[in-house]
Amino acid sequence: MGESVSVYVESSEELEVECPLCGRKAVLREATYDLPNVGRALLASLTCAHCGYRRADLVPLHTYRRRRIYYTVSDPEDLNARVLRSSVATVEIPELGVSITPGAGAHFTVTNVEGILRLVQDAAKSIEVLGEGSTGFVDTVERLISRGGRFTLIIDDPWGVSFVEPPKEVRACKVLFEEVEAG
């Protein structure tokens, strides 16, 4: 490829592989990045022009000690904090009784706190469709998104690469990083 795509890219490669969906030729692109707060990571994306299959994931090349992150949300501006969640990290919002546990197909996620609340809201709407949820919960999450409120976002990451970065106008004391002993 030769030309630099980003200031963070170290190397990149493109390969032809078999599409896992249709079996025809697909393109696998791999690039190694040195990312702030994450370190060296491999970005792999697979695209099939024949059937439209797409998959991308970011895999850290170094892991660190297990880390728990506690982010206190009390103002609407706090919803703009950037969230990097590894594919093995669990997300909890105790005040809502919410726990998001990653499955085998989980991706490294880059979003913000509002994006996490939207994921929770979408999941709750799906449960409602199945007739097993209550509309009050979806309304509560919508109120948090539109008007703000008090809650704590907790990310528990065995790889230690997840991160919460508050907006510049938000005080840094709203986020606490805790290294957790193995066990």
* 3-state secondary structure labels for all residues of 16-77: EEECCCCCCEEEEEEEEEEECCCEEEEEEEEECCCCCCEEEEEEECCCCCCEEEEEEECCHH
CA atoms of 92 and 173, how far apart (whole Å): 19
Q: Does domain 67-179 have CATH number 2.40.33.20?
A: no
If pLDDT is split at 50, 70 and 90, which confidence band does 10 have? confident
CATH 2.20.25.420 domain locations along the chain: 9-60
Q: Measured at the alpha carbon of residue 126, what is the angle toward residues 122 and 128, in degrees to the nearest 5? A: 115
Q: Does the pTM exceed 0.85?
A: no
Residues 156-183: tens digit of each pLDDT: 999 999 999 998 877 767 899 999 886 5
Two tokens, residue 108: 């490294």
If pLDDT is split at 50, 70 and 90, which confidence band does 65 have? very high
Predicted confidence (pLDDT) at residue 4 exceeds the cutoff of 90: no
CATH 2.60.120.1040 domain locations along the chain: 67-179
Question: Of 30-44, 79-93, 115-129, where does the model show the most confidence?
Answer: 79-93
Residues 97-126: tens digit of each pLDDT: 999 999 888 889 999 999 999 999 998 888
Q: Does domain 9-60 have CATH number 2.10.69.10?
A: no
